[in-house]
C-alpha cells in the first residue's frame, strides 16, 4: 500500500506543479488552491509512504514521478519541446524509478 501512496504523492506533486504554472500566468484564488492543495496532499501521501519505504528510495521515486509528470504536462499542455533527446531522458528517469521499485530492500 505504501507504493500506492508514493505514486499518488507523485501525481499530486504534478497537480501542484500545474498550479505553479497557472499562478505564474494568472494569480487568483483558484490557481493558488490548485498549487497549495496539490502540494499539501502530495506531502501528506509522501509522509504516509515513508512510514514503510526507505527515505532514499521514497524521495527519489517521488521526485522522479513529479519530474516525469511535469515534463509530460509541459509538452502536452504548454507546448514545450518534444525532442527525441528530451523523450529519451524522460524514459531514462522512468527506467530508474522502476529499478528502484524492483531493487527495494
Global pTM reads: 0.88
- Residue-range domain boundaries for the chain: 2-102
Enumerate long-range contacts of 52-56, CB under 8 Å, 24 or more apart: 52/1, 52/2, 53/2, 53/3, 53/6, 53/104, 54/104, 54/105
1-24: pLDDT as tens digits: 999 999 999 999 999 999 999 999
State the pLDDT at residue 104: 64
Report pLDDT for 105.
58
pLDDT in tens, the chain (105 residues): 999 999 999 999 999 999 999 999 999 999 999 999 999 999 999 999 999 999 989 999 999 999 999 999 999 999 999 999 999 999 999 999 888 888 865
Amino acid at each position: 500500500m505504501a507504493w500506492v501512496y508514493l505514486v499518488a504523492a507523485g501525481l499530486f506533486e504534478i497537480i501542484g506543479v500545474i498550479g505553479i504554472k497557472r499562478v505564474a500566468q494568472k494569480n487568483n484564488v483558484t490557481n493558488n488552491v490548485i498549487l497549495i492543495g496539490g502540494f499539501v496532499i502530495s506531502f501528506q501521501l509522501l509522509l504516509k509512504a515513508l512510514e514503510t519505504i526507505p527515505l532514499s528510495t521514497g524521495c527519489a521515486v517521488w521526485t522522479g514521478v513529479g519530474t516525469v509528470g511535469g515534463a509530460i504536462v509541459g509538452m502536452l499542455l504548454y507546448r514545450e519541446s518534444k525532442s527525441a533527446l528530451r523523450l529519451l531522458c524522460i524514459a531514462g528517469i522512468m527506467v530508474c524509478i522502476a529499478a528502484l521499485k524492483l531493487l527495494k530492500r
